[in-house]
Amino acid sequence: MMSVTIDVGAARPNDQAWSSAAMAAIPAYIVLLIVIVPRYPGMEYVKAGEVLVPTALGAVAVGAAASSSLRVWRWWYYLGAVTAAAGLIAGVLELKDAVESRGDTSQGPGSTLSAPDTAGDWTLADNGGARTRGQAQLALVNQHFDGELSLVYGEYRNGIGRVVFQGLNAIPDSEWAAELQESPAAGVRNYFADAGMTSPQFVESGSDEAIMACDELAQPRQIVAVACVWADSTALGITGWITPELNVDRAAELTRQFRSAVSQPNT
């Protein structure tokens, strides 16, 4: 009996499928940048990084499809397919983010922030420099958010550690209060974007109502400083930490303790 050997490789004409899909990912990424990034002013670098994920996934999907296809794929097939797949995946991820943003709406009463003389193990610094910096921050808030919120400010110390605290309490019925009520997470993201900090990490806040994220601050002389920001439906708190052996996880832990000392639940 005559045996017949089938060359499976010959039935797969796209032997460069993976490299072709990878090359097509470059213009596809540029297209997504042009379409998506301008919609997020102040978060351009963040969104540019996020666009890499759907582009890579799109290239993988197209590479797998082309490598198993019996038809010859021309270069424009790869370009169109990767762009379409990446766009679809980006749309799904954006929809997921939108749903999560709506889902984080705080239905609770929120909180009011204050700057007590002590906050856990931290003691308020009462000196001319701290008071001057607090007055400068108050003037800045009044300039940009007149009638929208009130500010509490404090600089706290514990040994050689230091934390600068700003508490923004929303004025009822103001536009900023409505925005914070709609999405505390958006308030946190907007703060980091406005501050030019591009890689905040969302962390556990220690409260069912509050959303919190932290990011490292650029400092001279290799000093590590971390900002943590939390928000609920009525207030947003900002802490800037400079302490020994500091990283995002440690700053998040300190902020959870500090937040409980400066937050008074609304009734």
Stretch 211-228: mean pLDDT, rounded? 81
pLDDT, residue 199, reads: 82
Q: Are strands 225-231 and 211-217 parallel, antiparallel or unpaired?
A: antiparallel
Stretch 30-57: mean pLDDT, rounded? 76
Q: How confident is the model at residue 103 (pLDDT cuts 50, 70, 90)?
A: very low
- Of 119, 11, 121, whose CA–CA distance to 67 is shortest? 11
Domain boundaries, the chain: 8-103, 111-265
* Enclosing H/E stretch for 98: helix 75-103
Write the burial class of residue 253 (CB in 10 Å: 0-12 exposed, 13-18 middle, 19+ buried).
Answer: middle
Tens digit of pLDDT for each residue in 122-147? 999 988 899 999 999 888 888 888 88
The yes-or-no verdict on residue 4 having pLDDT over 50 is no
Tens digit of pLDDT for each residue in 155-205? 999 988 999 999 999 999 999 999 999 889 989 998 998 888 878 888 888
Whether pTM > 0.95 for this model: the answer is no
Q: Does domain 111-265 have CATH number 3.40.1000?
A: yes
Q: How confident is the model at residue 9 (pLDDT cuts 50, 70, 90)?
A: very low
The yes-or-no verdict on residue 262 having pLDDT over 90 is yes
- Contact call for residues 83 and 27 (beta carbons, < 8 A): yes
Q: Return the DSSP state at 171.
A: P
